[in-house]
């Protein structure tokens, strides 16, 4: 399973990279506005961070609403670095742009996906990645993780190569469920990445080992 960080905060990404366990980054207009960074400069900086793995993937989202505008933005953003992946919304215009960008060998991520039908269309448009938002579905009383299992089953039925990025993750349990469903990628807020390391029995165990070792060495 690949782990992406869902943030535009450079220091958080650097900290994640220090673990050697982070495979990519996803951003969106909300995250960029929260980080208060210059969008294109931030994408360039994230794309060129030291310690990034060879297959580093950095999603940058278009803000145009029409196909031509999205294609232009996508081409411009993709020129920043080979690791840049163009995020397009799952709209008719977005998928037209996705198909055109895919045809130019530009990597794409169809985002704001809330149904299996949308995911089928993203795969047919040649999206490199599809991003179903599980937390936002849970928020409105639907089962976000069921969507992941459904998309995985459909993609497997047809051998689609589009990779599933589980997005809008709200808890470490969503990560576990993503793994059980066979999702290719989880994109998680840095706080949830930290929570994945934690278990009280690990802390208690380390403390006890250190106490016993110190007593033995005396």
Q: Is residue 108 part of the contact set for ligand G3P (CB under 6 A)?
A: no
Considering only residues 24 through 53, tell me which ones interact with ligand G3P, judged by CB under 6 A: 26, 28
Q: Is residue 7 part of the contact set for ligand G3P (CB under 6 A)?
A: no
Q: Active-site residues: which are they?
A: 87
Q: Please tell me the total number of residues recorded for the chain in this structure.
A: 218
For ligand G3P, the closer CB: 69 or 135: 135
- Among 133, 155, 160, 193, which residue sits at the site for ligand G3P (rule: CB under 6 A)? 133
Residue window 155-194: x/- pattern of binding to ligand G3P, with contact defined by CB under 6 A = ------------xx------------------x-------
Residues pairing with 109 in the sheet:
87, 129
Q: Which of 41, 43, 93 is nearest to 72 (CA)?
A: 93
Report d(CA 190, CA 193) in Å as an integer: 5
Return the half-sphere exposure (C-beta side, CA atoms, 13 A cut-off) of residue 90.
23
For ligand G3P, the closer CB: 6 or 12: 6
Minimum Å gap between C-beta 204 and ligand G3P is 32
Identify which range of 76-84, 94-102, 127-135, 178-186 contacts ligand G3P by CB under 6 A.
127-135
139: helix, strand or coil: helix
Q: What is the DSSP letter of 126?
A: T
Residue 156 corresponds to which tokens in the numbers above? 């497997």
Report d(CA 59, CA 38) in Å as an integer: 15
* Binding residues vs ligand G3P (CB under 6 A): 6, 26, 28, 131, 133, 135-136, 167-168, 187
């Amino acid at each position: 399973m690949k782990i992406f960080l869902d943030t535009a905060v450079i220091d958080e990404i650097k900290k994640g990279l220090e673990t050697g366990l982070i495979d990519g980054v996803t951003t969106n207009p909300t995250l960029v506005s929260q980080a208060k960074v210059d969008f294109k400069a931030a994408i360039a900086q994230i794309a060129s961070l030291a310690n990034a793995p060879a297959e580093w993937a950095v999603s940058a989202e278009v803000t145009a609403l029409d196909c031509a505008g999205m294609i232009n933005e996508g081409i411009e953003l993709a020129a920043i670095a080979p690791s840049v992946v163009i995020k397009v919304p799952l709209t008719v215009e977005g998928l037209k742009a996705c198909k055109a960008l895919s045809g130019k060998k530009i990597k794409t991520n169809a985002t704001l996906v809330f149904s299996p039908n949308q995911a089928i269309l993203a795969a047919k448009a040649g999206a490199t990645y599809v991003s179903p938002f599980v937390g936002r579905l849970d928020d409105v009383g639907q089962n976000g993780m069921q969507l992941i299992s459904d998309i995985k089953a459909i993609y497997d039925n047809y051998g689609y190569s589009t990779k599933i990025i589980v997005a809008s993750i709200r808890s470490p349990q969503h990560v576990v469920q993503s793994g059980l469903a066979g999702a290719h990628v989880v994109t998680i807020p840095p706080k949830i990445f930290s929570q994945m390391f934690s278990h009280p029995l690990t802390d208690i165990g380390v403390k006890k080992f250190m106490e016993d070792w110190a007593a033995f060495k005396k």
